[in-house]
C-alpha cells in the first residue's frame, strides 16, 4: 500500500508559502532538479515522490509528464526546514466543532 501524497503546490499552501517561492527555494537547495522533480535521495528518505500523468495533445498525441508530490513526512520536514506551521489544506473545520 502506498502512502498518501500531496501535490507540492498544495503543500506550499498548507505551509503558507507561495508555490513559486517554494519551488525556487527547493531548487536552490538542490531538493528539486530543473524539472521540479525531487532528487533520488529525498525520494529514498520518503519525503517526496513523483506522479506520472498524461494528456492527449491535438497534434503530438499522448504526452506524459511528472509532477512532484510530498508525503506526510515530507510536509513535516518542509515545515521544519522553513520554520513554519502547517495549516489545513482543505477547510474541514467549517464551524470549529465536529459532530
CA distance 23 to 9: 8
Q: Is 77 helix (H, G, I), strand (E, B) or coil?
A: helix
CB 54, CB 63: distance < 8 Å: yes
Sheet with 5-7, side-by-side order of all strands: 5-7, 61-71, 48-57
Please tell me the pTM assigned to this model: 0.80
54-86: per-residue pLDDT in tens?
Answer: 999 999 999 999 999 999 999 999 999 999 998
What does the pLDDT look like over 12-32, one tens digit per residue? Answer: 999 999 999 999 999 999 999
Q: CA 98 to CA 68: how far, in whole Å?
A: 33
Closest CA to 10 of 54, 70, 64: 70
Amino acid at each position: 500500500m502506498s502512502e498518501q501524497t500531496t501535490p507540492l503546490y498544495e503543500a506550499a499552501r498548507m505551509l503558507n508559502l507561495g508555490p513559486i517561492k517554494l519551488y525556487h527555494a527547493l531548487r536552490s537547495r538542490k531538493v528539486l532538479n530543473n524539472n521540479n522533480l525531487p532528487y533520488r535521495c529525498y525520494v529514498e528518505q520518503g519525503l517526496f515522490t513523483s506522479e506520472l500523468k498524461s494528456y492527449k495533445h491535438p497534434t503530438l498525441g499522448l504526452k506524459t509528464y511528472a509532477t512532484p508530490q510530498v508525503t506526510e513526512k515530507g510536509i513535516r520536514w518542509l515545515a521544519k526546514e522553513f520554520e513554519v506551521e502547517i495549516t489545513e489544506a482543505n477547510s474541514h473545520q467549517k464551524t470549529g466543532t465536529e459532530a
